[in-house]
Amino acid sequence: MSKDIQSYLLGDKIFQPDYNIKKNNYFIKDLHAYESLCLESKLDPEEFWKKYAIGFLTWHKLFTKVLDESNPPFYKWFSDGELNVSVNCLDVNLTNGNANKVAIIFESDDGQIEKISYRELFVRVCKFANGISKLGYKTGDKCIIYMPMSIEVIIAMQACARLGIIISVVFGGFSSKSLQERITDIDASLIITADYQKRGGKIIPLKDAVDEALSIDTSNKIRNVIVYKRTDKDINWFSSRDIWMFDLESNQDEYIDPVFVNSEHPLFILYTSGSTGKPKGIQHSSAGYLLWAKMTMNWTFNANPTDVFWCTADVGWITGHSYIAYAPLSLGMTQVIFEGIPTYPNSGRFWEMIDSHKVTIFYTAPTAIRSLVKSSDLNKEVHPNNFDLHSLRIIGSVGEPISPETWLWYYTNVGKNKCSLVDTWWQTETGGHMITPIPGVTPLKPGSCSFPLPGIQASVVDELGDEVSPGKGGFLVIKKPWPGMIRNIWNDSERFKNSYFPDELKGYYLAGDGAQIDSDNYFWILGRIDDVLNVSGHRLGTMEIEAALVAHKLVSEAAVVGRPDATTGEAVVAFIVLKGKYPEKHEDLEIAKELRNWVSQEIGPIAKPKDIVFLENLPKTRSGKIVRRLLRLKASGQSITQDVSTVDNISSIEKISISF
């Protein structure tokens, strides 16, 4: 870990949204309250977390121990307590006046609207859970969920939580190969999917991909595939295994007892990319995870009973878990769930939906905003100014650094200079927000995610774990455990320890991001320090893409790096050495097309290299390591001015000129 992190040009303008934020009981009301909570959490962490765990969650058996630190970094929270996540998301809303409140407003790709109340949602979850239970599935069994954005995916996730079935949601854009790897890694016995998904006017098969995944590894343990019927199109059917979701729900009892599980029972495993080839199964807990998701929903979004919340993420990512499937329900909120994409039927879709559903809190990713800035520059009709967005009070950003320019556009055109813009820094591993402004409270600096939340001891350190001085770059770490943290990497405790708690770092959690803290204590995220790219807010391991590329029959060697891209943040660039002879030109289009399709099949369309460059050789050190920093320079159009005397094969990249 001896990476040089460049200093960053800090913006200095501060914005203080001037409006009366509605208060709720747990809301942090001003900077003074924020500071005293931070102090409280430092002086007596046990008391701090205990107070929230009791105040926020409904327990079946109350815990006596808050944090078990006996075997770091395998921390346990509330470890002798028992609860059920679906009770905390649904049952609680039947007796607190929310039973008839709309839980979900679903808008389909083609604009159809369906609403479901908390009572109706509870009944459907119970009926579906009864159906699964009758098929013989029980606590501790593993289920893969591969579904489109829908009310049904929430039902599937909540029904599994009710029975203590451990889920792994796989994003619908992943290929059958990726799906198969996840099925195998968690040893799943059940899959819940849909026939097709509708996105941007297209119909994309899901059940087909499941059938294919199951045929790749025929030693799989899958007993049933439950299918949510989204279209009238035909699919292949295996009657000994496949069941329609609606058939399974019908005629079932409208109630099922929840299974109370230990606080540490895994609620889900979510795969994400790391620096080596194989995706990591991030294992989260039940109690600590839900607590942190709910606390942060309250603090960062100031969740109030009259709010209409809309998070545009997919449930296949952590954002869709924490801030769609669990936290908004646990707070009895009304939320919008959207099946489609921001640019269909046109790029005004988001603004039109905010207007028609009177959304008050809107949470999206910088990549979406960047693409909508571009479209509204080209076509004034889809500019946010043409829509009534006055219902908004808080707007949020997540997934990647938001540049000050994009921040300002969002703040001015969507937030109309009156909404708090919360730039939330967090990760799949953290379970919920970690560093973020408190709306209406934290003065905002465009491009900075501001301060850590109370209870979160974030810092920026050097390779020995010592704090660096203000304005200097370093590694972002979290010094103390928190309830929402990752518990393990599924099937790989060693990798868990090595990736997140390396020996040199004093037992701190290593986030994998470079950062710096300015003289006002604001945090600035500088991007990943490992071989992980962030393309449109999605995490992609360069090694994973390289492994896919070298598996192709024509490829001898591959090196994948990122380069800046105006819309997607980063773009994937692959340098390839072919097995046969060097092609006529370094950008042979036919082979490049084939390799792109190959990556799409192996991992999913999100991992497709944007640019493919063919080389005779890859630049390497004498010991044979690929010198990626040179490829990175080349990929971003810069010239190589460093000393390259120790690099082999350098002429191979020096002689080509690349312009993307």
Question: Cα(352)–Cα(387) distance, rounded to whole angstroms?
Answer: 6
Residue 546 Cβ vs ligand WT7, minimum distance, rounded to whole Å: 19
**N-to-C CA span, the chain:** 31
CB closer to ligand WT7, 131 vs 342? 342
Residue 308 Cβ vs ligand WT7, minimum distance, rounded to whole Å: 22
Residue 148 Cβ vs ligand WT7, minimum distance, rounded to whole Å: 19
- Do residues 293 and 431 touch, judged by C-beta distance below 8 A? yes
CB closer to ligand WT7, 508 vs 598? 508
Q: Which residue, among 127, 121, 120, 128, has the nearest Cα to 145 in the 3D structure?
A: 128
Residue 562 Cβ vs ligand WT7, minimum distance, rounded to whole Å: 12
CB closer to ligand WT7, 272 vs 334? 272
Name, in order, each residue with C-beta under 8 angstroms of 441's C-beta and a sequence gap of 6 or more.
21, 28, 29, 30, 31, 34
Q: Which residue, among 292, 298, 290, has the nearest Cα to 22 in the 3D structure?
A: 298
CB closer to ligand WT7, 205 vs 328? 328
Residue 428 Cβ vs ligand WT7, minimum distance, rounded to whole Å: 3
CB closer to ligand WT7, 308 vs 318? 318
- Do residues 191 and 225 touch, judged by C-beta distance below 8 A? yes
Nearest to ligand WT7 by Cβ — which residue? 428
According to the 3-state scheme, what is the secondary structure of 122-147?
HHHHHHHHHHHHHCCCCCCCEEEEEC
CB closer to ligand WT7, 137 vs 323? 323
Residue 317 Cβ vs ligand WT7, minimum distance, rounded to whole Å: 6
Element (H, E) at 496: helix 493-500
Residue 631 Cβ vs ligand WT7, minimum distance, rounded to whole Å: 21
| 624 Rama sector, left if φ>0, alpha if ψ -120 to 50, beta otherwise | left
Binding site for ligand WT7 (CB under 6 A): 272, 317-319, 398-401, 423-428, 449, 511-513, 525, 528, 534, 539
CB closer to ligand WT7, 401 vs 562? 401
Question: Cα(265)–Cα(280) distance, rounded to whole angstroms?
Answer: 19
Residue 427 Cβ vs ligand WT7, minimum distance, rounded to whole Å: 4
Q: Which residue, among 421, 427, 350, has the nearest Cα to 389 in the 3D structure?
A: 350
- Do residues 444 and 467 touch, judged by C-beta distance below 8 A? no
Q: What are phi and psi of 143, to 5 degrees?
A: -130, 135
CB closer to ligand WT7, 394 vs 578? 394
CB closer to ligand WT7, 48 vs 496? 496
Residue 270 Cβ vs ligand WT7, minimum distance, rounded to whole Å: 9
Q: Which residue, among 161, 132, 348, 337, has the nearest Cα to 265 in the 3D structure?
A: 161
Name, in order, each residue with C-beta under 8 angstroms of 183's C-beta and a sequence gap of 6 or more.
144, 191, 213, 214, 217, 220, 222
Residue 123 Cβ vs ligand WT7, minimum distance, rounded to whole Å: 31
Residue 188 Cβ vs ligand WT7, minimum distance, rounded to whole Å: 22
CA 619 to chain CA centroid, Å, is 34
CB closer to ligand WT7, 302 vs 428? 428
Q: Which residue, among 527, 378, 510, has the nearest Cα to 447 in the 3D structure?
A: 527
CB closer to ligand WT7, 205 vs 316? 316
Question: Cα(245)–Cα(242) distance, rounded to whole angstroms?
Answer: 9
Residue 366 Cβ vs ligand WT7, minimum distance, rounded to whole Å: 8
Name, in order, each residue with C-beta under 8 angstroms of 437's C-beta and a sequence gap of 6 or more.
300, 420, 421, 422, 423, 444, 449, 450, 451
Element (H, E) at 320: helix 318-320
Residue 51 Cβ vs ligand WT7, minimum distance, rounded to whole Å: 26
Question: Cα(416)–Cα(615) distance, rounded to whole angstroms?
Answer: 50
Question: Cα(51)–Cα(45) distance, rounded to whole angstroms?
Answer: 10
Q: Which residue, among 456, 570, 560, 445, has the nearest Cα to 511 in the 3D structure?
A: 456
CB closer to ligand WT7, 528 vs 586? 528
Residue 489 Cβ vs ligand WT7, minimum distance, rounded to whole Å: 13
Tallying the residues shown for the chain, one arrives at 660
CB closer to ligand WT7, 379 vs 567? 567
CB closer to ligand WT7, 312 vs 428? 428
Task: Tell me if residue 240 falls in helix, strand or coil.
Answer: coil
Name the E strands within 366-519: 394-398, 420-424, 458-461, 474-478, 488-489, 509-517
Residue 424 Cβ vs ligand WT7, minimum distance, rounded to whole Å: 5
Bridge-partner residues for 343, per DSSP?
A: none
CB closer to ligand WT7, 173 vs 401? 401
Q: What is the greatest pairwise CA distance in the chain?
A: 75
